[in-house]
């Protein structure tokens, strides 16, 4: 069992100096300020306690405090080991804080209460709040199921591995689990910024956001032209505006949340550009308009068609894709519940409003529009995040390279 040692900060000082506790374990070291001070002349360095002398009448109470700290840190270490939790300097420090400052510590907010309070702060976007609330629900379910405490001091690698195991057993995909981990890290960042905790274990490089590349589709310009040319009359008239709005998205790269914000005043430069500040990133983007987009704006007398909900639009888009006979077979490999599954779809079954953004980025890339120019439109700040939107096959990549000077 490791032992606690007490040393003076300035052992040669003539004035009072701090007493530090040192606790070495598993190639790690806790250095902890006891907040207690003593003049070195009253300190017994061999016993690591105050001398029992009338010249220092508070020696008894000080030594009792040091004894309690020594006992506390050793018991905490033993409890962590016996419960198969990894001892860390932060966990030991937190236990010592509780023993020294019980009254103050008891008034501190808990991690889960703090997360719940975050929801009440102004200027939180609806989609962000939705994701945060889903994460909080999962944390509460995890706590209830595992009986593990979830608090500032428990957000460590033990929690990380246990939480991922819980979510995996629940059948979540790797990317969904990664989203929950991402939000936990956001919550902890907020807490650290507000001095609610000094626990930095969530910044461990192993405390990473899980992610896998899922082969989501894009629509080629040929497929988009087929959709654009469809005559949607009679019983299919209800699909007309959805089709038109989707085509606009496919040639502007706008998210659904931005598309529904476009007004006639956003259409500038004699109808040749759209200028808008995006909702998600607050980026100001100016987008040159494709001829098909111009045709649609003319069709609706200078503005875009009215919209329905995102959910309803996704439903209609699949119907449009089926009518357009976009029947290519698509195999999607996805990790769900810790196992890789291969799901087979018709391409039209996978069309959503977000397909438009991937289609825009991929088609522009294939047409040799400079990456930086596409990113100025999509609002991506890094090439790494942008490249996730590029969906080209090996054959398309080879065909694109045929005209490259290196191969000629």
Helix axes 240-252, 291-299, angle to 10 degrees: 140
Strand partners, 331: 344
pLDDT digits (tens, 9 = 90+) for 106-125: 556 889 999 998 988 888 88
pLDDT band at 160 (very low <50, low <70, confident <90, very high): very high
Compute the average pLDDT of residues 45-58. Answer: 92
Tokens of 252: 């502007």
Residue 159 confidence (pLDDT) above 80: yes
Bridge-based pairing state of the strands 43-44 and 28-38: unpaired
Number of Cβ atoms within 10 Å of the Cβ of 290: 18
The answer for residues whose C-beta is within 8 angstroms of residue 283's C-beta and 6 or more apart is 277, 379
The ranges of the chain annotated as CATH 1.10.443.10 are: 221-407
Helix axes 174-193, 157-169, angle to 10 degrees: 150
Architecture of domain 221-407: Orthogonal Bundle (1.10)
As a whole number of angstroms, the distance between CA 330 and CA 342 comes to 10
Asked whether the beta carbons of 295 and 281 are under 8 A apart, the reply is no
Compute the average pLDDT of residues 375-391. Answer: 81
Global confidence as pTM: 0.63
pLDDT band at 99 (very low <50, low <70, confident <90, very high): low
As a whole number of angstroms, the distance between CA 7 and CA 21 comes to 7
Residue 309 confidence (pLDDT) above 80: yes
Say if domain 108-203 classifies as CATH 1.25.40: no
């Amino acid at each position: 069992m490791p032992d606690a040692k007490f040393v003076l900060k300035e052992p040669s000082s003539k004035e009072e100096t701090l007493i530090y506790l040192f606790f070495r374990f598993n190639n790690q070291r806790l250095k902890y300020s006891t907040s207690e001070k003593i003049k070195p002349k009253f300190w017994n360095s061999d016993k690591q306690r105050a001398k029992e002398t009338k010249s220092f009448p508070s020696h008894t109470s000080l030594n009792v405090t040091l004894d309690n700290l020594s006992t506390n840190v050793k018991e905490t270490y033993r409890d962590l080991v016996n419960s198969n939790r990894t001892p860390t300097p932060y966990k030991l420090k937190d236990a010592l804080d509780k023993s020294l400052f019980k009254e103050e510590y008891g008034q501190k907010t808990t991690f889960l209460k703090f997360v719940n309070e975050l929801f009440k702060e102004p200027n939180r976007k609806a989609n962000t709040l939705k994701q945060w609330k889903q994460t909080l629900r999962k944390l509460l379910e995890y706590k209830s199921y595992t009986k593990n405490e979830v608090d500032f001091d428990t957000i460590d690698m033990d929690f990380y591995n246990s939480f991922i195991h819980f979510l995996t057993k629940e059948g979540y995909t790797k990317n969904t689990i990664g989203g929950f981990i991402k939000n936990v890290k956001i919550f902890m960042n907020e807490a650290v910024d507000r001095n609610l905790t000094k626990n930095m274990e969530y910044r461990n490089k192993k405390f990473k956001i899980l992610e896998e590349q899922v082969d989501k589709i894009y629509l080629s310009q040929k497929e988009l032209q087929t959709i654009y040319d469809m005559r949607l009359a009679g019983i299919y008239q209800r699909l007309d505006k959805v089709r038109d709005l989707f085509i606009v998205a496919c040639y502007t790269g706008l998210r659904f949340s931005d598309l529904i914000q476009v007004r006639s005043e956003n259409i500038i430069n004699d109808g040749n550009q759209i200028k808008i500040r995006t909702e998600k990133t607050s980026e100001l983007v100016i987008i040159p308009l494709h001829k098909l987009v111009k045709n649609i704006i003319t069709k609706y007398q200078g503005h875009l068609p009215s919209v329905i909900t995102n959910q309803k639009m996704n439903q209609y888009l699949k119907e449009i894709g089926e009518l357009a006979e976009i029947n290519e077979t698509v195999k999607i490999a996805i990790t769900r519940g810790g196992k890789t599954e291969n799901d087979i779809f018709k391409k039209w079954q996978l069309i959503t409003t977000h397909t438009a953004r991937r289609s825009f980025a991929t088609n522009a890339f294939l047409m040799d529009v400079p990456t930086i120019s596409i990113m100025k439109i999509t609002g991506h700040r890094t090439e790494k995040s942008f490249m996730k939107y590029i969906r080209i096959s090996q054959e398309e990549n080879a065909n694109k390279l045929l005209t490259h000077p290196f191969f000629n």
